[in-house]
Every structure is written in structure tokens, then in C-alpha cells.
Structure 1
Amino acid sequence: MAAFTTMSTSHASHAAAAQAQTTQATLAAAESAWQRGEAETAHALCEHLIAANPHDADALNLAGLIENGRDPLAARALIGRALAEREDPVFLVNLAMTCQCAADRDIAIRALHRAIDLRPDFAVALNNLGHLYGEAGNCAEASHHFERALALAPAHAAIHFNYGTMLYKSGEFARAQAVLRRTLELSPGHVSAWNNLAQVLLATNRNTEALVVLEHARTLAPDSADVLTNLGCVLLGAGRIDEAQAALERALERDPGRVSAWNNLGNLMMQMSRIDEARAAFTRAIELKPDFAAAHLNLGNTCSKSGSIDEAIACYRRAMACDPAHTGANSNLLWSLMFAIDDGHALRAEAEQFSARHEAALLAASAVAHHANTPEPARRLRIGYVSPDFRNHCQSLFTMPLLRHHDHEALEIFCYSLSTQTDEVTARLRGFADVWRDAHEFDDARLARQIRDDRIDVLVDLTMHMDGARRLLFARRPAPVQVAWLAYPGTTGSPSIGWRLTDPWLDPVGEPQIDDQYTERSLRLPDAFWCYDPLATDVAVNALPALTAGHITFGCLNNPCKLTDTTLALWSGVFAALPNARLLLMAPPGSARERLTKRFAAHGIDPACVSFVGFQARADYLRTYQQIDIALDTFPANGHTTSLDAFWMGVPVPTRYGRSAVSRAGLCLLANLGLPELAAASDAGYVAAVTALARDVPRLAALRAGLRVRMEVSPLMDGARFARNMEAAYRQMWQAWCAPQGATNECAR
């Protein structure tokens, strides 16, 4: 018996060993097949093992990993069975991998913590835990676990990559850059690390470096949709349109569902004024990802360019709903509301909400900031101008005469240029500055430090909520006196901007609640908010077109976003009185013109009388005024630059003014030209002013012949006078800072 037992026992042991070897071989074959991408083969092998032994923990675990790509819940059940057989740290890590939605994040975190309890040196579990905490927004906890993982595996490139990516997503760009560069030292061919490093550089406005990084990444992976998408974006910003388009179209060939590529392609089409194609691209991005805030914002921009301001506003609100932290969407909303409502108090309320949403933490931190500027009221002041538009841009029509005439003995002029684009206008403006800083690659924090280091006394925000705005820069209060001017006569809504410049026409003195429309303190310049230089003296004024055409041609070359229903209703009275008149509008080709034509018809204006021009280079745009007898103004947002351009070309612009400052721009310009009779406070008054002028062809011809000279001798083109007024305003603001308890100068109203 003993021998038999021994034999029997020996025979059973050999059989078990053989079975174990077979099981291990089958398991190895299943794992090998899975790693080769042969999921069905791997799954079948695991099923065979589990059928033979339902308690095979390793087979259950591997089956769960294979199933995870198809059915995470089924995968979790299989790995749960494996854990019931054996509590293995590897199984716990795999269980966490089945938790693919935020709702299951706590399950995954608990599983990983247990894995680390069982195996404290498990670097992979620490890495995965860091990733989950990063997704949850707990960056401190995420960093703690990534640092522990790297202490255990300092040469593990994937952990460095995940850590750097988390830091980038959490906005810690300097740390992210260092960690991603370490990733690339360990793994120079890591394409995703190159791509993410480029995104860090882009986030810190280092576009030139980002382009170099992405072009290198493309050499490693020519067909990477990630790389091509980002490369297309950077090439677009660099003005390399054809290359950008080729990169983005190739990205979409490789991955038609790439929402960011559709969004970037839409931006490219916008830049090429192909508005319908841009709209289609943004719409496709939203179809693929309904909560994609950037695409909703950009779709709103196409609506704005097409003259559909209410649609644009709805798009911006949807973008904000998708991403409440998106400052660009919020700024675009504020900018657009000015065209839709004649209510400065409502605009202020919206602007204050922007500040509460986006600036609160910075404002709290900067509220106690100390400025080292010497508080001497009469000393030479350092004035800083911040703008993305020191280039061939409409803002340069106003910065040019001011900067040209500044008194450099009284002021030291600093210009902080935020644009990647430079041209001959940039060169001219640069020549008027004492210090010029190309700051387009500075993030807000770095630029704020530079402004503090430069000891700027008065910092001028030229952008407010327009494109390229740096609201979070000003919220840091880098200068003791901060003032808003030029972008538009409104409010930033920010406590960080102490002053705004205006004039007695935009904001009449003594009218109740006028200054309550603004969070800033209003300081009225004596003449006008604007001083103009056409930057195009070679486009001549021609004879009145009506003299040969036999009818009046009206025109409106304003941004189509100003073509509100209120404006069309206002104009309908003009065309009812002058049915033979014609109208020339600026609008992009395609569906925008079709929609505008239908809207005109709805307001009783015959579409046959309306013709269109597209967006044009400045000289061609000015020549278009040679076809126009009278420019029709918009409401509630009047023309600003376009009205000055019209006057320069001899074309009068009667206006309808309202309660908000942007609706009183036409009144300001006409008053400074000595033509206040062309400004009306009601729809009926506007129609009467326009029709009376249209019927008085001799007067119209005389105005055309004399408007340019009238402009040249008015305060609207007296750069020296305007500069002295601005300098006096800066001095008053500065003195108020130096002696906050002192008497207020009476021109600050």
C-alpha cells in the first residue's frame, strides 16, 4: 500500500505538473495573441482555460483585460472573480483600468490604493493613481503619487510623460515643460511627448519654439493626426496658410473624427474669408463633440461675420455652458452684446459677471500688491501701451497719431506688442516708442513681471474684451494706474481697471446714471475719444456718384454683425421714402448674403436694390466709398472707424444715437465735424435727416467736396492736440494715485 500510495502520489504529482505546464503555455499563448492584436484568439484561449478551471485567477484576469476594450462592465466582473480567488496588486491595477468614466473614478482610486498597500514599490500603480487624481483636478495629490513613482522608476519614460501631461492640463506649464523634456531625454522617439511639449509651448505663447518641436515630431511620425492637427494650427498662426491647410486636411484623412482638426480647419477658412466652409467645419466638430466649447465659440464668429448677431450670442452662451472657464467665449459674448442692446447698465452687469467668473482669485491676490513706483506727481511718467494690434489693423489709425505726437520729455513710452505679425505699420509705430517689447510669447504672469520691472506708472489697455484680450494680465495689477481706451467706449467690468477715457458726446456731463454704466471712473477728453490717421492718403475723393447715376446710392461697409433687425427697421423708413435708391453692403459671399437678402425683404426693402462687396484690403475698401453717396449708420452700435473712413472719402454719415456710448459714436464724430444736424435721437428724426440730405443733391455734392478738409482741420485729426489731452489725462490719473485723498480735478466727471 505504501509503495502504491507513493507511486500513486508520484503519478498524480507528475500529472498535475504536466497540467500546470499546459495551463501556463495556454495562458502565455493567449497573452501573446492579445499583445499581437489578435483579441478573438486570445479570448478563445482564455475561455478554454476558464471552462477547464473556473477558479483560474490568471485566466480570469487576462480575459478581463481582453474584454475591457469591448465591455468594461463585463471586464470588471471577470477581474472581480480573479480577485476573489487571489488579491493580487496586478489584478487591482487592471480592475482600475475598467473604470473608464468619472462616475467610477472612486472605485479605481480605492483599487489602486489597495494595490499600493499590498506592494508599496508598485510604480505602475502609483503612476495610474497620479493620473486619476490629475483627472479629478487634485493636482497636489497627483503630483505626490507621480513623484513617488519616479523615485522608484526614475528612468521610466511613460511615467514622466503622464506626469508632464497632467501638469500641462493643470496649467503648471514650467513644470510640465521640464518633465516632458526629461521624457524626451529618456525616449527621444516619443512622438506624443514631442506633441505635448509643443502644446505647453503654445500655451505659454512660445509659438516659434512650438513650430520647431512639431516639425521635428512630424519627421518621426509623418501621419500622426495629433501632430498634424497642432502643426496646422501653428502654421496658420504663422501665416503659412497653404501648409496649414495641407497639414489639417491630412490629419482629417488619417482621422476623420478628429474634432480639433475640424476646429482648426474652420479657423483657417475664417482667415481666408471662406465663411460657409468655416461654418461647415465648426458644425462638424460640434456634431462629433457636442460639448466642444471652442467650436461653439468659433461657430459664433461665423454667425457674427455673416450678420447674424443673435445667433452669434447664442453660440457664445453655449460655449460658456460647455466650459464656464472659457474667457474667450465670455469676452466674445460681451463684445457682441454691444451690437444687440442699447443698455449700458445691462452691459456693465454682464462685464462684472466676467470679472467674478474669471478674475476673482487674481484680483484678491493683487488687491494688496505693492508698487515700487515713486509717488512724485510732476516727474516724468512711464506710460505702457498693451495691444495685439500694433500692425496693419484698424487700431493703428488711432495709435499712430497719438504715439507720433507724444512729449517724450514728459513721458517715457513703452509698447508691449502681443502680435506674432509685424509689418511696415509695426515698424513705424516702433519708431515712436522709447522702449518696444515684443511680448507675444509672454504669458500673463511673465508679462506682468516685465511691466512691474519696467516700473510702468500708467498702463493702457487698448483691447478690453476684443480679440487678443489679456484680461487676466490686468487683473494682476502690474501697474499702479490702469486705464481702458480705444477698443470701444464701454466697460471692462474689472476692478483692476481704475479709469476709462471717454468724451462729452459719448457720455454727456450731468445726465443721470451715465457714469453708473461703467465700473471704471470716467475721464472725459475735451474733444473726442478718437484721433484719426487714414494711413492711406493716395485714395482720392471723387465726384458725387448720384450726379451721373441718377439715383442715390447708400452704403454700409461696417462689420456685418452690426446689421441688427433694429438697424434694418430703421433703414426701411429711408427706402420707403426713397424707393429708387440703391444700397451697397459689405458681407462675405455665400449663405450670409442670402440670409441678409431675406431679412431685408422681411423689412420691406426690395432685395433688388441691394448689392454686395466682400472683405477687402484697405485701399480697395476705401475706393469702394467712391461708389457711395451717403453712408447709412447702424444701431445700437454706430460705425466708429468705418464712419471716419467714410468722412475721409467725402461720404457723410447721418446717425441715430441712443443711450449707450457705442450708440453715440456718430454723434461725437458729427459734432467734432460741425455737422450735429445730421445726428438724430429718434428713428423718425434719422429718416428725416437722411432723406433731406439725399434730396438735396447740391448740398450733398458740396459736402463730398469739403469733408476731407473739414476732417483735417477738426480735432479728429489734430494729433498734437489729442496727445496733449491724453497726456493731461494720464497726469491727472497719476496725481490721483499719488495723493488719493486730494481734491478731484473738475474734468474727471
Structure 2
Amino acid sequence: MSDSPVPEAAAPGAQPTFVDALAAWQRGDTATARALCERLITADPRDANALNLAGLIEGPRDRLAARAFFGRALAVREDPGFLVNLATTCHSAADRDFAIRALQRAIELRPHDPVALNNLGHLHGEAGDCAQATPCFERAIALAPAHAAIHFNYGTMLFKAREFARAETVLRRTLELSPAHVDAWNNLAQVLLATHRHTEALAALEHAYTLAPDSADVLTNLGCVLLDAGRIDEARAALERALQREPGRVSAWNNLGNLLMQVGRLDEARAAFMRAIELKPDFADALLNLGNAHSKAGSIEEAIACYRRALAANPTHIGAHSNLLWSLMFAGDDALALRAEAERFATRHEAPLLAASAAQRHANPRDARRRLRIGYVSPDFRNHCQSLFMTPLLRHHDHAAFEIVCYALGTRRDAVTAQLERHADVWRDVGELDDARLAQQIRDDGIDVLVDLTMHMDGARRLLFARRPAPVQVAWLAYPGTTGSPAIGWRLTDPWLDPANAPEIDAQYTERSLRLPDTFWCYDSLAHDLEPNALPALAAGHITFGCLNNPCKLTDTTLALWSGVFAALPGAQLMLMAPEGSARERLTQRLAAHGIDAARVRFSGFQPREAYLRTYRQIDIALDTFPANGHTTSLDALWMGVPVPTRYGRSAVSRAGLCLLANLGLPELAAASNAGYVAAVVALARDLPRLAALRAGLRARMAASPLMDGARFARNMEAAYRQMWSAWCAEAPC
């Protein structure tokens, strides 16, 4: 609104004046203000003040009409206030340049106008031009240091530009000026979430909720953070209330979908994600999560398509790209293609950090024989399959020669967390540190060898490792593959996953491969009281095959592999793990297409670990998947006395079964072809005495093998760390 001089109010019964119209508008009487403006403009079509006020009145309902009024006012008098008002009618990116020019002219006419500077900063910020926006906001704040709205807009722009530290400072200043500024509390919470400070973010949102319990913005974000904190019922109530207030809020639909997926209501989750995508087809987060839902349902090709759509919508979406890489392992056996995609990931997401850290000098003493500091980084130091492998390693580390530091990225602790913590020299709960602060913590701790246990799986922190906080960085355990990152110098493997002296094998990885002598995995079931039972087929009169792998591994390649087994054994039954609902219906249809009738199939849902292990008491032979073999599930099956014949291929993930069977002295159950696999499975199924004897002795065989020799495995891992460290010590310092 212009601050130009205005005439005085009219006397009673006289021709109305601009002051009358302005007073009506200011008290909210829009109809009267509009009528008075019409009379004023009719009386004098060049009444600039009336034309400007008419634009303000029309703005909320007709942006183009408002723009026309402001244009007519400017034709009469080039007033900086009129120019500011004209700029507010530009809501689209296409109009942004026009609005910027209007505001720049307003500032030329009145250089010390904080409102014009604020609006110009906002427009530059929307265009992603932080360099242009920042001086506008800072000049506006210098002119109006107590203006909370300017601080809020500046802080919000900094947040969108990922300038989190500066954004937090400015938003906190906003709240000093206006403690009840709900949007500032909400956006501060977003900054805190972005920097992994979930506890503080939850407190900020809970305070915002007390100020505005019906705010859809606050309810949506509160629901998301409550879900992350495991407060499911409260999260659902907040999200459903947000959708009652604003049914078209796409972020609330997306968050509700995540909640439903977490509680196992997969069909409802997919419907929520699809509703979000209907409302906003380029919503990358919802496309990513719909892909996750497809993956959990066993529809890996649909999942991959969703991840690609998410990346098309937002090429910088690091989560979508990691999930794409993870999923591609299940869909094909081309490890070179996986490497190429992983390298694209590093180029797209890590490049600036890699460039900045390439010449970084580490102060670690180059002494090949001293006690080394080993750092393990993971979000899954908890009741998670990773604990089955970390427990025997941590339990048997030589603490005289190695100091063990665990960096727990997760924000939830449980009894398994406490058990693992007892085996570490230093335990750091770092889930609320962002990548930069965590990298500095690792440098301050003087870590020599930093081990990435997640790679591209859920909870990955790829940009942490791109900062190169340790001189030696190695990938292990998540899965036997490649990160694609130049920041990871080594990967651990074994002679079965990656046969030595094969250049075509090493070409699959960006890292240098160091082969452990026996096995990539060392396992502890953490369920020693649960014994195997007698062979179920002896009582049932038929063989029961089973596969309790993640349904995303049930590719058409896998089902085609199994079809030969069921064709040869018409009495055999099959048990699979899959979520209830359409996922089972679709899987049943796909099995039928491969000649496996629905009458031969029964399903199990996702279960707690002990119940899941007990399910193996109903299974005679576990069927492996291809191209991604079972890893943890195969070890669980073997622990419960259930043999797992395997089909192996070219990639490391397709050779996991071969590794396990070779370490158990059962290489005859591993086949390099479909025909060989079918022959091995059918022969075993037809030889019940052999199958029963195998079941009775598998646990003892496992216990005597390298797969469960924690002390031996720890010595091999430590030798590998020492070899990597010696190689770094031998390099010329930067």
C-alpha cells in the first residue's frame, strides 16, 4: 500500500473520499470499500489512490483484475508502493522476472523501503538465487530490525537453500521478536530435522501445536516426527486431523502412507501414496515411498519405475537414487550396470564434497604397527539383522591392538543396542548430528579405518563418507557390492563371492577388493534356545518348500527357476512370506503363470524373530532366490536345520548361497545353471533319509564352520584392516 498523501474524509452527505474507502477496507467491510472505490474511479478515472486500493481489494479473488488496477494507478503516478503491490500479483515462475523488475524500480525510487527489499529477497529465493536474495534480506533487516516477517522470510529462504545453521539463527531471532509465530516454529522444526535433531524438532512442533492446534502444516509435520519417534497412534491422529482440515495436503497423505506401511497395512499405504501423487504428480517423496511399498509387496519392477519417476521429478533426491541402486540388484545379474549407476550417484550427489575433500590431509600418525582406531558407522545397531553379524565380530575384537568406536546413527535404542555397546571401547549416539558435524567428530576421534555398514541401504549417510573423515574408508556387511564412491577406497569380500585373479570380477567395483580368507559373513543367531525339529515331510507325507526372503527377491527369474522343481514334484507344497492383501493375490497369479498352482501355496506374514525362526519347523527345503540370493535368511534357515540349495551367477549378491554352502562343505548343493539347480533340489527332495540326516546335523556343521567362528573371523577382519592401514602408511603424504 502506498504511503503517498491522501485527502481528508468527506463531510456527512458529501461525495465519498478515498479515506472513506480506505477506512471501510481496513475494518474488513470489503463490499463497502469496493463500492466506494467504484464511485471514486467513476468520478475520476485517474484517481491513483482509489485505483491502487481497488487492486488491493480485488487481489484475493481476481489477481489479473488487481494487476490491471495497479497498472492504471502506475500510469497516473509511478509510486513505489504501487510497484510493490503490482509485484504481489505475480504468483507464477513465469511472472517472476516481471515482479523482480517492478520491485527493483520501487527500490530505485525509495531505496530504504524494507517491504520492497523483503519481497525482492523472497522472489530471488524462490528462484533459488541465494546470492541475490541474501543482501536484499539483510538490507531489509538493517532497516527494520524488529520486523519479524522479514526475519521469517529470510530464515525460510536459507532453509530451502540448505543453509541450515544460518536458517536456524534467523528463525530463532524471528521467534524472539514474535514468540507466537507458528510458521516460524514449524520451519525451525524443519531445520532441526534436516540437521538430525529430532528431539528438538519434536519439542518445537509440540509447542507450535499448542499455539495452533488446527494448523494443517503443524499437524502434518508433527505426525511425521511422532511416527519417527515410534508414537504411532499419536502420529496417525495428527495426520488424519491434518487431512480433515485440508484434504488436498499432499505431504499429509505421504506421511500417512509411511505410517500405514510401517504398521503393515500395505494396500492402504499404497492408496495414500497414490492419492498424494494424484494431487501432485511430480511429488518425488511420494513416488519414492510408493516404490518402497511396491518393493515390500514383491513388485520390484514397479518399484524401480517409481524410483526413476522420483529422480525425474527431483534429480537431486538422494534417497530415491539409493533405493534405485538397491533395487536394481534384485532385478538383474549385471554387476557392471550396477557399478555404472553407482558412479552416476557419486557424480550427481557427492561430487562437490569429493572435490573439496580430495586433497584433505589426515593427521593420523603413519605407524603401521600401532594400535588402530576402527570406527563402525550404522543406523542399525539394534534389533536388526545386522546385529547377527556385528555381535560375533565386536565380541571377539582384540582391544589391545584395536580401539573400537561405534557411531550409532539411529535414534532408537533397544536391548540389542545395549548388548552391542558393551563390546565397544567408545560408543557414540550420533543420530542427531548432521553429516558435517559427524565428520568432524570422527576426525576429532582420530579414526584410522572407518567402516560403512550401510552402503545404499535404508539410513545410508553417503555424504558423510564423501567428506573423507578418516584416511581409510571401507564398505562391508550391508551387501557384497559397490558404493560407486571414490571416497570408499576398499570393500571386503571373500573368494566365493569374488573369485581371485579374475579382472572381469574386480571391474565390477570402484573400490579395491580385499578378500577375507573364508567368508564375508560371520553369524550368531541370537536365538540359541530354539532347536531344529524332525523333518516335517516324514509326518506330512510330502515335501514343503519355503522361502522367507524379502518378497522383492521373488522376481520372475526366481519363479521360472522354481517352476522346474514343482513340475518334477507334483505333491510338493510351498510356503512364502508376503504381506496380506493384494501382494499375495498378485504373487499367487504370478506363481500360476509359472505353473505353480495356488492350492500348493500358503503364506506367512512378517513376524517377530522367534516366530519367524519357528516357521522353519514347517519347511523341509528352503528355495533360494535369483539373481539376489538369500543372505541372512539363508543363514537362519541353515541354523534351523533347513538346507538351502542355490543357483549362483556373475554378481556377488548372486553368489551368496555358494559362499555359505562352500563354507559348510556342501558345494554339491550349489549350481551354475537352472537345470543344475532343479536337479540338485529334486534329488535332495526325493532322498528323505539324506534330507533328514542333513537336517539333524546342519546346526553342528554350522557351529564348526567359519560361518560361526567369531574369533577366527575377527582375526581375519583385523588383518584386513592392518593391510589397508599399511597401504595408506606406505603412500606419500599429500
Once superposed, what is the RMSD of the aligned Cα atoms? 1.7
5 Å-filtered alignment, 1:48-127, equals 48-127=39-118
Post-superposition Cα deviations, 1:58-96, rounded to whole Å, max 9, x if no partner, equal: 222222233333333332222111111111111111111
1:540 Cα deviation from its structure 2 partner: 1.5
Secondary structure of the residue that 2:16 maps to in structure 1?
Answer: helix
Q: What does residue 584 of structure 1 align with?
A: 575
Contact 2:25/2:57 (8 A) holds in 1? no
Post-superposition Cα deviations, 1:702-744, rounded to whole Å, max 9, x if no partner, equal: 11111111111100000000000000000000000000279xx
Q: What does residue 565 of structure 1 align with?
A: 556
- In structure 2, which of residues 438, 448, 469 is the aligned counterpart of residue 457 of structure 1? 448
- Separation of aligned partners in 2, 1:418 and 1:88: 56
5 Å-filtered alignment, 1:194-343, equals 194-343=185-334
- Separation of aligned partners in 1, 2:20 and 2:44: 13
- In structure 2, which of residues 14, 17, 21 is the aligned counterpart of residue 27 of structure 1? 21
Is 1:527 the counterpart of 2:521? The answer is no
Is 1:653 the counterpart of 2:649? The answer is no
1:172 Cα deviation from its structure 2 partner: 1.0
- C-alpha change, 1:42 and 1:592, in structure 2 (3 Å) is farther
Contact 1:309/1:561 (8 A) holds in 2? yes
- Separation of aligned partners in 1, 2:303 and 2:36: 57
Contact 2:16/2:40 (8 A) holds in 1? no
1:143 Cα deviation from its structure 2 partner: 1.2
Q: What does residue 406 of structure 2 align with?
A: 415
- In structure 2, which of residues 372, 388, 392 is the aligned counterpart of residue 381 of structure 1? 372
User: Counterpart amino acid of 1:88?
Assistant: D
Contact 2:21/2:34 (8 A) holds in 1? no
> Normalising to structure 2: TM-score of the pair?
0.97
1:18 Cα deviation from its structure 2 partner: 9.3
- Separation of aligned partners in 2, 1:696 and 1:73: 82
Q: How many residues are aligned here?
A: 727
User: Counterpart amino acid of 2:18?
Assistant: Q
Post-superposition Cα deviations, 1:458-482, rounded to whole Å, max 9, x if no partner, equal: 0000000000000000000000000
Contact 2:222/2:238 (8 A) holds in 1? yes
1:690 Cα deviation from its structure 2 partner: 0.6
Q: What does residue 6 of structure 1 align with?
A: none
Q: What does residue 699 of structure 2 align with?
A: 708
1:572 Cα deviation from its structure 2 partner: 0.7
5 Å-filtered alignment, 1:598-613, equals 598-613=589-604
Contact 2:299/2:552 (8 A) holds in 1? yes
Contact 2:490/2:511 (8 A) holds in 1? yes
User: Counterpart amino acid of 2:71?
Assistant: G
1:175 Cα deviation from its structure 2 partner: 1.1
1:29 Cα deviation from its structure 2 partner: 4.3
- Structure 1 stretches lacking a partner, 5+ long: 1-12, 743-749
User: Counterpart amino acid of 1:63?
Assistant: A
- C-alpha change, 1:82 and 1:601, in structure 2 (3 Å) is same
Is 1:141 the counterpart of 2:132? The answer is yes
- Separation of aligned partners in 2, 1:20 and 1:703: 107
Post-superposition Cα deviations, 1:509-566, rounded to whole Å, max 9, x if no partner, equal: 1234100000000000000000001011122201111000011100000000001010
Contact 2:8/2:17 (8 A) holds in 1? no
Is 1:475 the counterpart of 2:475? The answer is no
Q: What does residue 132 of structure 1 align with?
A: 123
- In structure 2, which of residues 523, 529, 548 is the aligned counterpart of residue 538 of structure 1? 529
Post-superposition Cα deviations, 1:309-367, rounded to whole Å, max 9, x if no partner, equal: 00000000000011111000000000000000101000000000000000010000000
Q: What does residue 190 of structure 1 align with?
A: 181
- Separation of aligned partners in 1, 2:144 and 2:8: 41
Post-superposition Cα deviations, 1:423-448, rounded to whole Å, max 9, x if no partner, equal: 11100111111111100000000000
User: Counterpart amino acid of 1:404?
Assistant: R
Q: What does residue 3 of structure 2 align with?
A: none
- In structure 2, which of residues 395, 399, 416 is the aligned counterpart of residue 404 of structure 1? 395
- In structure 2, which of residues 559, 579, 584 is the aligned counterpart of residue 593 of structure 1? 584
- Separation of aligned partners in 2, 1:20 and 1:675: 105
User: Counterpart amino acid of 1:704?
Assistant: R
After alignment, is 51-60 or 222-231 more displaced? Answer: 51-60
User: Counterpart amino acid of 2:209?
Assistant: R
Q: What does residue 614 of structure 1 align with?
A: 605
- C-alpha change, 1:97 and 1:619, in structure 2 (3 Å) is same
- Separation of aligned partners in 2, 1:184 and 1:162: 12
Secondary structure of the residue that 1:483 maps to in structure 2?
Answer: strand
Secondary structure of the residue that 1:514 maps to in structure 2?
Answer: helix
Q: What percent identity do the matched residue pairs reach?
A: 79
Secondary structure of the residue that 1:517 maps to in structure 2?
Answer: coil
Post-superposition Cα deviations, 1:268-313, rounded to whole Å, max 9, x if no partner, equal: 1111011111101111111111111000000000000000000000
- C-alpha change, 1:52 and 1:708, in structure 2 (3 Å) is same
- Separation of aligned partners in 2, 1:162 and 1:608: 62
- Separation of aligned partners in 2, 1:413 and 1:446: 20
1:45 Cα deviation from its structure 2 partner: 3.6
1:23 Cα deviation from its structure 2 partner: 2.1
1:222 Cα deviation from its structure 2 partner: 1.1
1:57 Cα deviation from its structure 2 partner: 1.4
User: Counterpart amino acid of 1:629?
Assistant: D
User: Counterpart amino acid of 2:78?
Assistant: E
User: Counterpart amino acid of 1:556?
Assistant: C
Contact 1:501/1:522 (8 A) holds in 2? yes
Secondary structure of the residue that 1:399 maps to in structure 2?
Answer: helix
Q: What does residue 4 of structure 2 align with?
A: none
Q: What does residue 392 of structure 1 align with?
A: 383
- Separation of aligned partners in 2, 1:60 and 1:423: 67
- Separation of aligned partners in 1, 2:456 and 2:227: 23
1:103 Cα deviation from its structure 2 partner: 1.4
- C-alpha change, 1:178 and 1:16, in structure 2 (3 Å) is closer
> Normalising to structure 1: TM-score of the pair?
0.95
Post-superposition Cα deviations, 1:80-122, rounded to whole Å, max 9, x if no partner, equal: 1111111111111111111111111111111111111111111
- In structure 2, which of residues 620, 624, 629 is the aligned counterpart of residue 629 of structure 1? 620
Contact 1:206/1:441 (8 A) holds in 2? yes
User: Counterpart amino acid of 2:133?
Assistant: A
- Separation of aligned partners in 2, 1:336 and 1:537: 33
- C-alpha change, 1:17 and 1:244, in structure 2 (3 Å) is closer
Q: What does residue 668 of structure 2 align with?
A: 677
Q: What does residue 348 of structure 1 align with?
A: 339
Post-superposition Cα deviations, 1:631-655, rounded to whole Å, max 9, x if no partner, equal: 0000000000000000000000000
Post-superposition Cα deviations, 1:119-170, rounded to whole Å, max 9, x if no partner, equal: 1111000111111111111112211111100111000111111111111111
